[in-house]
Amino acid sequence: MGSFKVLGSRVPRTDAYDKVTGRALYTADLVLPGMIYGAFVRSPYAHARIKKIDVSEAMKVPGVVTIITQENLSRDYALVIEEEVHAAQQVRGLLAGEKVRYHGEKVALVGAETLEAAKEAAALVKVDYEPLPAVTDPREAVKEGAPLVWDDSQPVTAPDGSLLYNVVAEDHRSEGDVDQGFAESDLVYENEYYVHRVHQTYIEPQAAVAAVDERGRVTVWSSTQGHFVVRSNVARSLGIPLSRIRSIGMTVGGGFGAKFGGVVDLYAVLLALFTKRPAKIVYTREEDLLDARPAPGLYIRIKTGVKKDGTILARSAFALWNVGVGGGALWATGAFTRLYNIPHTKWDAYEIATNTPPMGAYRAPGYPQVLFAGETQLNQIAADLGMDPVELRRKNLKAEPGFFETLEKVVEKVGWFQREKGEWEGWGIALGHWRNASSPAGCIVSLDEDGTAKVYTGLMDLTGTETAVAEIVAETLQIPYEDVTIVRGDTDSAPFSPPSGGSTVTFSVGNAAWRAAQDLRQQMIQLAAGQLNALPDELVVADRKIAVKNDPERSLSFAEIAQTALRSPSGPLIGKGSFGGDPSDTNIFVQAVKVKVDPETGKTRLLRCVQALDVGRVINRTQCEGQAEGGALQSASWALMEEMQYDEQGRMINPNLADYRIPTAFDVPDMETILTEFPSRHGPYGAKGIGEPPITAALAAVASAIGDATGYWALEAPVTPERLALALATRQPVRAR
Amino acid sequence: MRSFEYAKPSSVKSVLSLLGRSFEQAKVLAGGVDLLGEMKEGIISPKRVVNLKGVKDLYRLDFSEKDGLTLGALVTLTQIESHPTIIARYRALAEGAHSVATPQIRNMSTIGGNLCQRPRCWYYRHHDINCLKKGGRLCFAYNGENKYHAILGGGPCYIVHPSDCAPPLIAFDSSVTLASPRGERSLSLEDFFVLPSQRMDHETVLEPDEIVTFIKVPAPPKGTGSAYVKIREKQSFDFALVGCAAVVRMEGGVCRQARIVLAGVAPIPWRSREAEEVLEGKAITEEIAEKAGQAAVAKAEPLAQNAYKIPMTVAAVKRAILRAAGQT
């Protein structure tokens, strides 16, 4: 590739000014005439039979308009959640029916003139519960005698012949023959790891507004990663034809996988349908922690057979995913085998229902959990073999484009083989990876009379993807970034777009935009060729102009081309691009961290955080670095402090950001980020999706650094001061009591 | 949040006339940092909220060698952490105030509110759970999730007191002035706090119709050093897992007087006379400081999940003493 005019720069995000000036419009900012407010009645129990719901007192609260329970709902209504990223589908009641199955589950929905009235009434709805035993830990849920989350669930037989209860799905894969591989190994390691459920803790809680017009047409505004997904979920769940739903994506304050719909949008629509008035639902932080789509937890037993020289011969895993009352985690289980040449691999994975909220995606869904186990164990093995953990990787890493080079960049930046550590300090390294999703997408690019371009897309910008698309169009048309305006359409006005998840947008919408810009460029060249009496391949496109290569005086500016088009029979210049999906390539992410442990308190501090990410092609350097650093931080935070905690009755006891901890600026060291560029075969200008990979490795790297600092390896995350202090005091690996 | 009556009087006398016979009838608002959280989370629903911020007297902040430091209840933590005399003479107090939450919260938080704040126990703070402290029958922490709970002075409720300012203030031998319709009373700040075994519905001796008006801190004698050490999971915006305020008076290389007060380990700011006794009359060395830490936890009775706080307390006490004595 030659040099780029726009790509690789640090132009500001398209949404930067609106966000920093407070002008960006979020869902909670919307107020419609006659709008009512929704509040939920939620289960205080993790598991209980509902004997009776009495709304009579609640209905007396002044301002209450309606109270909806599962009993008043049409049988055709169901919560149908399809997440394209996971290919997961869940069908449940919209509200709890005969049972509640997790603490905070929606039992009834109140609509009132004010939020205060809605909340007051919600508190007055009398629900008669018969509490039932609950289970929140998948290791307990699989045992005989555990409470059954789903009444009709039947036990399944595990590979060792034991019966597993509360299984909702399973997956078994193998390549080669692991038994043979273990038999040929000099050493076989087997460890059990446990990762608690964590929440995405986006800054903006879930929110939606809905309205229904006189003809029954539904409009829904929401904080979502994909308004097209919201539209299809509303259609499927409430039986409304797709063409009668308009879904509008508002500015989004983060999603990380939890905002594919179904949490609040359907309920706002329900209220609007029931009352014929616009309705708004905005979650509190507590509601979001209790009842959104947090990541699944994982129990995983990994067995690895190696030769004394560090060659990995076989790896197998037995995994129990804690999916709550949802599903869709299985597919990530194999992440621990992907990067290495391993002749024999096998995994047996199960999704286990527990009395916790339904799982959703969380950035590289499932990978941080699996790689915590897989990569931490490799570091334990390296320590046991007396081998450097980087050497162990070099020996086994696949020779795919960028894998070795990206690893070596970190080795070089850190000075890995000369690394120093003081007392109670340690280093950890871990590899992560992802291959971006590739999804159908359309895009239209038009040329205005002043020679600037407008881009019509339906992408939902969470991470700067609008900026990326604008840069791709600018580069293709050879105009400055400032000459491109992005028009984000809704489902009525925009071409189809995939939801922003799975690192798909820059790749997929980027490809559609690139094709649309190419199409426009061809039309411009054709028109210019006629005007300049030249052949198309005699022309060059540069600096907002098309000129004859050997006679630059003969040229037309983009503005002249656009104006000429308006006067010509062909009319305005509009390029269109459609992309149906082509495979991308794996990008590797390499994470090295240095920590210092306080041996008296068990507290770990991050001293250095060095990461390298293969982005395929840098579209916007600042955004690429931001992705790498944000992901590394989320993962490190997962390693040190994040955990949804449930008490023995299954109640979540930390549904607030005081007790559910996320890091502050003081907890984060300076981030050192390296970008490598090993182009994807089919990415626009070689770009790979980069949203997911940065979260995949720090969990393992931090845990391993703690192992390096203390000699005690983490088998459970997060490694809180409490757990590490206990490990140091009892001389046991780090895990819960 | 339920609707409530709101009043903003301009004198202590009218504040008192608006308070009620029970905490449900009326609550006092100052910075609102704790009170509004409790109201929004549905923990309490007072019928009336009385805003103190119209009472000018309560903003007083002055120091004299004779009378020491006087803090009106409305002095903010930002004022305390940035006040040159407090930084110079009462370092542990400045450090305690500085360690609270975030700058925005410290701008709002008042010293009176910091002393009167309610526990952070996750059962107490959960509107779905009616625990012993809220008039229920059980302390759920006792047999439940208790890693953040008390290792000293617990029972039948096992909260820890969340204040980072009370331990240094007690270590400086502060007194507190309270006002009620029955008049004023002053008592040592140490006696202001009461254990759950004595009283369940509040952590202090405050009556529902009584407010904190002033805190008085004697001028520290020559040779006094102090420090507050706070150990927490996050580096800011977090309550103490364990905290320790140490005030030591040195004379000729020997500790003449020491006051050690712990945070995060007991239902009240926990004065450790055992630790103080270890220090008095001794030169302060790492070994002595460690011994004092050990003495502080000698009577600890951890619950199932919080034994980790014992070595952590030893470390906090040791570090606070060494810093107070100017050794680190």
Direct distance between the N- and C-terminal alpha carbons of chain B, in angstroms, rounded to an integer: 47
**Residue position matching structure tokens 């043979």:** A180
Q: Do B308 and A600 touch (CB under 8 A)?
A: no
With a cut of 0.90, is the ipTM above it? yes
Instruction: Read off the pLDDT band of A647 (50, 70, 90).
Output: very high
Strand order through the sheet with A48-54: A99-100, A48-54, A126-131
> Which residue in the block uniquely carries the two structure tokens 């120093």?
A420
* Bridge partner residues of A40 (DSSP): A109
What is chain A's mean pLDDT, rounded?
96
Is the confidence at residue B315, as pLDDT, over 60? yes
Residue B284: helix, strand or coil by DSSP? Answer: coil
For residue A193, pLDDT over 60 is answered with: yes
Average pLDDT, integer, range A65-92: 77
| A242 DSSP 8-state letter | G
pLDDT of residue A92: 82
Digit-coded pLDDT (tens) for B25-81: 999 999 999 999 999 989 999 999 999 999 999 999 999 999 999 999 999 999 999
- Give residue for tokens 């499932």: A366
Do the Cβ atoms of B312 and A286 come within 8 Å?
no
**Angstrom distance (rounded) from CA B320 to CA B264:** 15
Please say whether the beta carbons of A680 and A507 come within 8 A: yes
A153 to each of A82, A150, A517, B153, how far by Cα in Å?
Answer: 22, 6, 53, 47
Chain A residues within 8 A (CB-CB) of chain B? Answer: 44, 103, 116, 119-120, 123, 286, 598, 600-603, 605, 641, 645, 647-648, 651, 653-656, 658-659, 661, 663-667, 720-722, 725-726, 729, 737
Cα separation of A563 and A561, whole Å? 5
What residues of A are in contact with residue B2 (Cβ under 8 Å)? 120
Residue with tokens 């579209």: A619
Q: Which helix (H) or strand (E) covers residue B112, if one does?
A: helix B111-116
Domains along chain A with CATH numbers: 27-132+200-290 (3.90.1170.50), 399-436+586-730 (3.30.365.10), 438-579 (3.30.365.10)
pLDDT above 70 for B172: yes
Geometric angle at alpha carbon B125, from B122 and B129, rounded to 5°: 85
Please tell me if residue B66 touches chain A, with a CB cutoff of 8 Å. no
In Å, how far is B113's CA from the nearest CA of chain A? 18
Strands B5-7 and B48-51: parallel
- Amino acid at residue number A157: T
> Phi and psi at residue A178, in whole multiples of 5°?
-60, -35
Which of A450, A460, A513, A467 minimizes the C-alpha distance to A6? Answer: A467
The ranges of chain B annotated as CATH 3.30.465.10 are 56-116+161-217
Looking at chain B, the domain(s) classified CATH 3.30.390.50 span 224-324
Lookup result for tokens 């050690």: B260
Amino acid at site A174:
S
Q: Rounded to an integer, what distance in angstroms lies between the CA atom of residue A558 and that of residue A544?
A: 5
Cβ B145–A645 below 8 Å, yes or no? yes
Number of residue pairs across A and B with CB atoms under 8 Å?
Answer: 88
Tell me, yes or no, if B4 comes closer than 8 A to chain A by beta carbon: no
For residue A654, the chain B residues in CB contact (below 8 A) are 122
Mean pLDDT of A9-22: 95
Check pLDDT > 80 for residue A86. Answer: no
What is the dotted CATH code of the domain comprising B224-324?
Answer: 3.30.390.50
Q: What is the pLDDT of residue A87?
A: 56
Q: CATH classification of B56-116+161-217, choosing from 3.30.465.10, 3.40.50.300, 3.40.47.10, 3.30.2350.10?
A: 3.30.465.10
With an 8 Å Cβ cutoff, are A725 and B233 in contact?
A: no
User: A12: Cβ–Cβ under 8 A, 6 or more apart, which residues?
Assistant: A467
Spatial separation of the C-alpha atoms in residues A49 and B250, rounded to whole Å: 66
pTM of the model: 0.96
- CA B48, CA B4: separation in Å to the nearest integer? 5
Are A722 and B143 in contact (CB < 8 Å)?
A: no
Query: In this model, does residue A85 exceed pLDDT 60?
Result: no
CB contact under 8 A, A601 and B238: no
Q: How far apart are CA B292 and CA B308, in angstroms?
A: 18
Phi, psi of A633 (to 5 degrees): -70, -45
- The three-state DSSP-derived secondary structure of A50-99 is EEEEECHHHHCCCCEEEEEEHHHCCCCCCEEEEECCCCEEEEECCCCCCE
Q: Which two tokens stand for residue A501?
A: 């998840």
E strand spans, A240-343 = 245-249, 279-282, 297-306, 312-324
Closest to B233 measured CA to CA, from A605, A705, A730, A717: A605
Residue with the two structure tokens 């008592």? B187
pLDDT, residue A281, reads: 98
